Every structure is written in structure tokens, then in C-alpha cells.
Structure 1
Amino acid sequence: MIEHPCFHYLTETTSTNDDARDARYGHGELILAERQTAGRGQRGHKWSSGEGLNLTFSLVLEPRFLPAAGQFLLSEAVSLALVDTLARFGIGARIKWTNDIYVGDRKIVGILLEHNLAGGALSRTIVGIGLNVNQTEFDPALPNPTSMRLLAGRAFDRDEVLRVLYERLMDRYAELERSGGEALQQAYRKALYRLDERQRFRDPASGAEFEAVIRGVRPAGDLLLEHADGTLRTYLFREVEFVIRR
């Protein structure tokens, strides 16, 4: 793999997000593993990846300038960096709220952010990313995976993809630190999956399904939906789920 002073490579580990908690890793350092035995994603789901085919890593950030209430801005910056990266390789992607990356109705990237706080601000954030690069066969239990190779019809150099992705992650982070969140929020909204389209959702508490139109995302990260009767309602993470048919 590519040599970089901030990159640390492991053949196997339980979870790179767990490894990245070690205090010896500082801001901007990246821990990548070919195989994770206990990789995890959002909502407690397990993350599965073909060995030697994809990019599974964790990035350490120390966004001490960002208050805890603004932590969703960091999620927006990371999501946009993934969209930027895929665009560089000719793949048009969208952000499925909160931060899954989709191409069409198929998932190509999973993101998991874990924060530590100090004095009302973020002190350390671990950004876990799993990007499907060259995998072409997936566990049939996964609902809708895809990869760069499946979409483009060719194999990709993982070193090149990692280099571009790291640059875009740090660029978007610098943009957030330098300019605040307004431009990021606008870009995130424009990149939203199914924006201004009627979409089916599920209430995870009751299991009831309903249709609504995505109208945007509030600065704190709650999803804004317009219901059939014209009312606008907001939903926090875990309060609503997308229903996507295979």
C-alpha cells in the first residue's frame, strides 16, 4: 500500500475504530486493515468486507473548534468528501441521510463517527469508513451493496483511491474549520439521496410505513419530511428508516 507518514496498516484487527482510540494516534492519522473481525456500522450493524478488495479504515480527527451541538457538520464534511472522491473516478453518488453513500439505490460506502467530548466541544472523533472498491460478490444477506468496480466495469488501484479520499477528507475538514458550516450544509442538501422525491419510510418503534417527501436536513442533523397532508415534520436518527425495495 501507499507509504504516508500518517497511514498505519494492519493485516487483521477486530475494529479499526477501536484501534484508533489509542492515544498514540493523533489528528490526521489513519489506521487501515485488510480484515476486521468485528467491524461495525450504524445502528449496531456489522460491517463486512472482502479481504484485499476494499478500503476499510478509521481516521482520527481532533475538532476542538467544534461545539458538541455542531457535530453533524463533521458528518456532512465526511459524507461530502466521499461524494467528491467518487466523482473524481467518474461515479456519481448521493448521501442517504444520515451518512450512507449511495449510487442509485445501492450502498457503496458506510460511515461511522464516534465522538469524545471535553468542555462542551468535540475533543476527538474517530471516522470509520468502509468503501467498496473492487469487490464483486457480496453476502446475499446484505440488502443492496455495490462497488466501484461493479459500477465502472473495471478494477481500481486502491492506493490511488485512498490517496484521493484522504486528500478530500482533509480538504473538507479544513473547509469546516476555516469557514464554518453554511456552505457545507448547502452542499450536503444538494447531494441528498431522494431529495424532493416521494419516498417510503418506516417508523422503527411501531413498524408502520408511510410516504413523505424529503425537503432537507436541519443544522443539528434531523431530517425534514413533508407528509401527504402537507405538514412538515422533523425526525432524529433512529426515529425513521428508509424503505428501499431490492
Structure 2
Amino acid sequence: MQNNIISGLFVGQNLVTLKEVDSTNTFLKNILSNSKPVPEGTVIMAESQYAGRGQHQNTWHAQPGKNLTFSLLLKPHFISPTQQFDLTRAVSLGVYDALHPLLGGGLKIKWPNDIYFGSRKLGGMLIENMIQGGQIKNAIIGIGLNINQDNYPESAGSAISVKQILQRDYDLKDILSEICSHLEGWYLKLKAGKTDIVRSTYLSRLYRLNEASEYRSNGETFTGTIKNVVENGLLVVERNGTEEQYNLKEIEFLNK
């Protein structure tokens, strides 16, 4: 089923809604592998995903019809593979800006690309870049957001939903429309070369920025302070007066 409820230029103009799918990222990859042209901005939205994935192969806990689970196709040929974290920044900012009018100051981006309210996880994304001939040919961006679900298994950890925060249900397509619109805006800023704005805004909205907090690295727990995210996406944490850089697998955030 296809319909157009999105007001932007191209993100979400081709919207495919599925009742159930293993993973919207996998579904979109399969369409691309069939060599049929797929327009940039295509969104695949599923009411239910039975094999949704997050970072580190984490499984996404989502009740059917209650949350936003969708994937988006972008073709960011203008981004060098060495600068691909800028796409992560732009996507994170698009989701943040769509939710901020509802949730206000409690909303943060947890490095690299989770969406947090307070110290609890509202959602996250999995970006899969396909690199060919030294450029990013396609980027498949899977996004999962907790919207109307009102309970989670203990295994879901710190999960929270918009409904649990605001005590009411929200129309999923309305929120999807807002995300598509804001995400497109940040993506076009990147395309126009406004990389500095994307990077500085992303940093300013970061969870735990300039706050002393607990972390674990190489089996050692320490108190550190997030100071920056460098060009290629590494997290800069000050510990014992020294700034150190970490990639995703090298540092774990511990709850306060």
C-alpha cells in the first residue's frame, strides 16, 4: 500500500506501509538488490517487525501498531565515506527536532544515535551505508521510536515511550511526517555544505555533554566527562585530566 501524507520535497513522498515484516532495513535492501530503481527518500513503514535490529545486533522490543518502525533510503553521494558520521548527525537531529515540540528540554541525543528522554531510551537508529567506488551509493536508515506502547519487558532495559511521558496516544503517521520533514531539512543542510552547523548543533544536544558521569572501558569503570565528538564520530571523554577518544565498541555508558 502506498500513500502520500508527507509534505517535504522527497523524503517520504514514496511511502510504503507494510502490515508485518522481518526488518524494514532488510526489506529495503532486498528491493535495492532487485536492481529496480528506488527513488531517494523512499520510506518503508511497518506496523510490526519480528526481527527489528539495533546497534550490536540488539533486538528491538515493539508491540505491533504502537510504535514507529521504518526505514528510509538516502543517496548521499556527496558525503565522503570518511565523513559518514555527518549523516548520523543529520538523521539524529531530524528525529530530535520532530519530537522536541512534544517533549521539550528532557530530550537528548545519546552518542552515537539514540534518542533519550532524561536517562531513558525513546528510540534509536541503525544506519547501513553501501559504499561503491569510493562513495556512499546508498544509505539505509532504520529508525525505531517508542510512541504509544505503555509497558516493556525487563529485558528492554531503560526503554520509555512518548505515551508514558505525556499520558496520551499520538498519531504515528503525524509523527512520521514531522520526522521526514525535519530529517530532510538537516540532510539538505549537509548537501549545501553546512557541515559545521550540523556538527555544532549535534554536539549541543548531546546527552551528558559536560557532565561528570560513570563509564566503562576495557573492564574498568571510571568517571569521565563528554567534551566533543570529532569529525569521524569518535567520542571525546575527559578522564583524569586527559581527553581520550572512543569508538562505539570501546565505551559503555553506566546509569547514574
- The match for 2:235 is 223
Amino acid at match of 1:218: V
Q: Is this contact kept in 1: 2:61–2:156, CA < 8 A?
A: no
- 1:132 has 2:140 as partner: no
SS at match of 1:89: helix
Report the count of equivalent residues: 242
Shift of 1:114: 0.3
Q: Is this contact kept in 2: 1:91–1:148, CA < 8 A?
A: no
Q: Is this contact kept in 1: 2:2–2:17, CA < 8 A?
A: no
Amino acid at match of 2:72: L
> Which stretch of structure 1 is more off in the superposition, 21-30 or 78-87?
21-30
Question: Among residues 86, 97, 100, which one is paired with 2:99 in the alignment?
Answer: 86
Shift of 1:89: 2.1
> Which stretch of structure 1 is more off in the superposition, 236-245 or 39-48?
236-245
State the distance in 2 between where 1:211 and 1:54 align: 35
Amino acid at match of 1:54: N
- The match for 1:117 is 131
- The match for 1:20 is 28
State the distance in 2 between where 1:54 and 1:91 align: 20
Amino acid at match of 2:86: L
Q: Is this contact kept in 2: 1:107–1:144, CA < 8 A?
A: yes
- The match for 1:60 is 73
Quick check: which one's helix share is greater?
A: 2
- The match for 2:90 is 77
State the distance in 2 between where 1:14 and 1:239 align: 29
Runs in 1 of length 4+ with deviation above 6 angstroms? none
- The match for 1:51 is 64
TM-score (norm 2): 0.91
- 1:149 has 2:163 as partner: yes
State the distance in 1 between where 2:90 and 2:2 align: 24
Shift of 1:159: 1.6
- The match for 1:202 is 216
Q: Is this contact kept in 1: 2:24–2:70, CA < 8 A?
A: yes
Q: Is the alpha carbon distance of 1:44 and 1:3 closer, same or farther for their aligned partners in structure 2, counting shifts above 3 Å? A: same
Shift of 1:170: 1.1
Amino acid at match of 2:101: R
Q: Is the alpha carbon distance of 1:76 and 1:239 closer, same or farther for their aligned partners in structure 2, counting shifts above 3 Å? A: same
- Which segments of 5 or more consecutive residues in structure 2 lack a partner in the other structure? 5-12
Give the fraction of aligned pairs with identical amino acids, expressed as a percent. 36
RMSD, aligned CA: 1.4
Equivalences for 1:167-246 in 2 at 5 Å? 167-203=181-217, 206-228=218-240, 230-244=241-255
TM-score (norm 1): 0.95
Amino acid at match of 1:8: V
